[in-house]
Amino acid sequence: MEPGGTGKEELLTQLRRGVLEYCVLALLRDGEQYGVELARRLGAADALTTSEGTLYPLLSRLRRRGLVSTEWRESPAGPPRRYYRLTPDGQSTLASFSAEWATFRRAVDQLMEGE
């Protein structure tokens, strides 16, 4: 890292911070999941790997904002699990973000490619 520069991990942390909640909403778009499933799926995408210590507070914030709802269910193996699903407000928020993200991504790509 050069003096005054940003290390790779710090850069990824800053990028994740801005989009992680929308990535979680996107993962819930196709159906409900419990926290460990969400953490596993996020971890499968290199740049989105996050700890459960980050994920669960984020899920709590999404629930308080009415973007996800939860339901506890017994697990066939182990303790009960809390399942998360998108609410109508969560679906609307995700749709708005998706539209803005496409525009934002194109603008950043144009700048980075020097167009």
Query: Tens digits of per-residue pLDDT, 27-54?
Result: 999 899 999 999 999 888 877 777 788 8
80: Cβ contacts below 8 Å, ≥ 6 apart? 72, 73, 74
Question: Quick one: which of 70, 64, 62 has its CA closest to 20?
Answer: 62
Rounded distance between C-alpha atoms, residue 39 and residue 51, angstroms: 7
Q: What's the confidence (pLDDT) of residue 24?
A: 95
Question: Quick one: which of 75, 62, 72, 53 has its CA closest to 27?
Answer: 62
Q: What is the mean pLDDT of residues 16-29?
A: 92
Which residue is associated with the tokens 């909403």?
Answer: 25
- pLDDT, tens digit, for every residue of 67-88? 999 999 998 888 999 999 999 9
Token pair, residue 8, equals 């790779």
33: Cβ contacts below 8 Å, ≥ 6 apart? 27, 41, 83, 84
Q: What's the confidence (pLDDT) of residue 16?
A: 79
Q: What's the confidence (pLDDT) of residue 1?
A: 43
Q: What's the confidence (pLDDT) of residue 67?
A: 98
Domains of the chain: 8-112 (1.10.10.10)
